[in-house]
Amino acid sequence: MYTAGAGRVEAVDVERPVPGPKDILLKVRACGICGTDVSFLHMGGMPARAHLGGRPVPVPLGHEPAGEIVEARCEAEGLAVGDRVVVNPQNAPTGINEPMAAARHCVNRSGAGPGDKVVVFGAGPIGLDAAIWQKLRGVAHVAVADVIPSRLEKAPAVGADAVTDSAREDVTARLTELHGQGANALGQPRPDTDIHIDAAGVAAVFNTVVAAAKWHAKLVMVAVQKTGTELDLGGMLRSDQPSGAVHRGRPRLRAGVDTGCRREGRRHLRRVTTEGRSR
């Protein structure tokens, strides 16, 4: 199934793949619909050299498949015809589906460790998966924020230490209650949260994090940002905040601006995300 213009798809016949000596051939039995697929559908394809004005090119949809092995070559160890498997989009030691892989990569990029205090914005599949991976890494405290109560109910069940309903609570005050009080570069009180993960993809998350970030707090964005937003560069400067975007299976830093400050006689540059070409 390929995109065929904005809001349109078409079925395309392709030749049956011929597996190599270490390959298997999979008959897809089910496939998840990712938010990225929906974005490509609305755009009419994948942007090709969009920074140069290139038009979207047709792209096959579906990268979260599961199915049955119909061919297994001799060097494909541990796999046999008839096995039911999921596609592992990362080279991990166990088979994990795409949302778990995206969340794992996000957590790896965050560099979270046992002593860190983390908040995850967005209690959808990737946000909850990020909470799971954080706790598996031994992170000290993981809070999850969302605006949908039914989603927040699931967070403690997967290991989150606390939740906050950001539609009804002051997130900054709640994080201070949970993580203690830190400060930004000017000594202004801020929650002592070490890492903020954006699995929601809305401007309110970015703005909340910049306003509430302590000195050297991190922001990692794994959600698809469907619209741009103005950046509070002053707020990022006051927190000396590194910020990066993770595009599913691989990291992507969208940058056009560096901010920095002098401390202890050295200049510390931090990458700031903007709308633009990956570098």
Q: Write down the pLDDT at residue 44.
A: 87
Q: State the pLDDT at residue 237.
A: 66
What whole-number distance in Å separates Cα of residue 99 and Cα of residue 249? Answer: 10
List the chain domain ranges. 2-86, 98-278
Question: Could you tell me which CATH class the domain 98-278 is placed in?
Answer: alpha beta
The predicted pLDDT at position 241 comes to 57
Is the Cβ–Cβ distance between 126 and 247 less than 8 Å? no
Question: Of all residues in the chain, what percent carry a pLDDT higher than 90?
Answer: 43
CB atoms within 10 A of CB 269: 11
Statement: 2-86 belongs to CATH 3.90.180.10: yes
Instruction: Report the pLDDT value the prediction gives residue 266, as an integer from 0 to 100.
Output: 35
Rounded CA-CA distance 27/82 in Å is 10
pLDDT for residue 270: 37
Residues of the chain with pLDDT under 50: 93-95, 247-279
Cβ within 8 Å of residue 254, ≥6 positions away: 245, 273, 274, 275, 276, 277, 278, 279
Q: What pLDDT does residue 29 have?
A: 92
Beta pairing, strands 117-121 & 56-57:
unpaired
